[in-house]
Amino acid sequence: MDGLSHLGAALAALAGPWQIAYALGATLAGIMIGLLPGLSATLGVALFTTLTLKMAPADAILVLICVYVGAIYGGSRTAILLNIPGTAANAAACLDGNMLARQGQAGRAMGIATTGSVAGSLFGVLCLAMFTPLLAETALKFGAFEFFWLGMVGVMMSGTLTGSNPIKGWLMGLLGIFVASIGLDPIHAHPRFTFDNNEISGGIGLIPALVGAFGFAEILTVMSQSKLKTMISSVDSVLPKIADLLRYWRTIIRSGLIGVFVGILPGVGEDMAAWSSYAAAKRASKEREKFGKGSIDGLIAAETGDNAAIPGALIPALALGIPGSAPAAVLMAAMIIHGAQPGPMLMVNQPQFVYDVVGITLLATLAILVFGLCRARSSCPSSSCCACWVRTPSRSGCSTSG
């Protein structure tokens, strides 16, 4: 009953006009970040962290979570229309989403992606509300020994599961531990790796480190990409068919479970959730030959999985202080900046905060549903702007239908 009362208080606090305006504006900003290939949810959350430093803590966290959710969703539009994932999490959506666009079903593909994103996020929100308190209660029994090995497991899993070269992932994880240890130790105030430089005795600044590291990586990524050519295609209605939703309900539930589970794993991220959900859907499908050629099943699996991983990544971040993905890591840092202390003691000291995050994620999900489905074809800015860039084998140019 305490959980329901906390959740009710969180939803009531989010019902104000300013909170709704912040949610809609931040979600739209996140979608625009996701629409721009080369940017990412991680970079978006890091940049908005600097912009929200002067805001009230509750409003700042609201903006950052909405940017996070919006960016992961927004990347599906460019994946479908351009065959270029706006974020790494949307790469799996390229396989079938762009093929549907080439077949003149771009609107249908975007509607399916929106539905899958909303369904996956709602499923993840439910798991976030249910499992975070339970995991936090279990984590209260953890000591220094358990947390040390839990942190090492996170570093090892980051290297093993997120790249083709695990040694690079492990080295970067150890480098992160080294950078975090610079400054005065919190118990005896003994300087560590400061080399008699008082400027870094307080440690490496969190915001400059995040923006610099992720921003520099994104610049290198964009510089390595080739230039795109403009092509033409049409966009049909973005409203999904009820028959599609009823037909693939098993895929939605399966992908939601996979997305949440993968999201909980430290350092794995939304992209792995999308690919795992896509692979599971292909194995379970009776129409495997359609995958990669315009399969609705494959598209809805990928988009459900990556969005379900968002609340999943927040579960260990809130309960253990160990984020499940890179955007969740930046978000957790922002929470610390704004006075929250993610970890086992969060449910003891700030139980309302957990349910505030649940309510905010739910509001962000409703916001992407509004932006994704309430406007059709040429009246939807993101659809009409991107429609002229769809790759097709025939003509070049840019033309949108009214």
pLDDT digits (tens, 9 = 90+) for 205-215: 655 665 566 56
pLDDT for position 398: 40
* Contact indicator for 301, 280 with CB cutoff of 8 Å: yes
Amino acid sitting at position 112: I
Q: Is 295 among the domain residues?
A: yes
Q: Is 300 among the domain residues?
A: yes
* Contact indicator for 235, 402 with CB cutoff of 8 Å: no
- This prediction has a pTM of 0.73
Q: Is 217 among the domain residues?
A: no
pLDDT for position 393: 39
pLDDT for position 222: 67
Share of the chain above pLDDT 90, in %: 17
Cα gap 271→46, rounded to integer Å: 19
What average pLDDT does the chain have?
79
Average pLDDT over residues 72-97: 84
Q: Is 176 among the domain residues?
A: no
Q: Is 203 among the domain residues?
A: no
pLDDT for position 341: 85
Average pLDDT over residues 329-338: 89
Q: Is the pLDDT higher at 36 or at 160?
A: 36
Q: Which domain holds residue 73?
A: 2-144+231-387
User: pLDDT per residue over 268-279, tens digit each?
Assistant: 778 888 888 888
Q: Is 106 among the domain residues?
A: yes
Amino acid sitting at position 44: G
Q: Is 152 among the domain residues?
A: no
pLDDT for position 111: 85
User: pLDDT per residue over 24-68, tens digit each?
Assistant: 999 999 999 988 877 788 888 988 988 888 899 999 999 999 999
* Contact indicator for 155, 177 with CB cutoff of 8 Å: yes
Give the number of other CB atoms < 10 A from CB of residue 399. Answer: 10
Report how many domains make up the chain.
Answer: 1
Cα gap 55→261, rounded to integer Å: 33
pLDDT for position 381: 43
Statement: residue 294 has pLDDT above 70: yes
User: Tokens for 279?
Assistant: 């692979």
Share of the chain above pLDDT 70, in %: 79
Average pLDDT over residues 320-336: 87
Name the pLDDT band for 390 (thresholds 50, 70, 90): very low
* Contact indicator for 67, 30 with CB cutoff of 8 Å: yes
Cα gap 260→289, rounded to integer Å: 27
* Contact indicator for 114, 62 with CB cutoff of 8 Å: no
Q: Is 13 among the domain residues?
A: yes
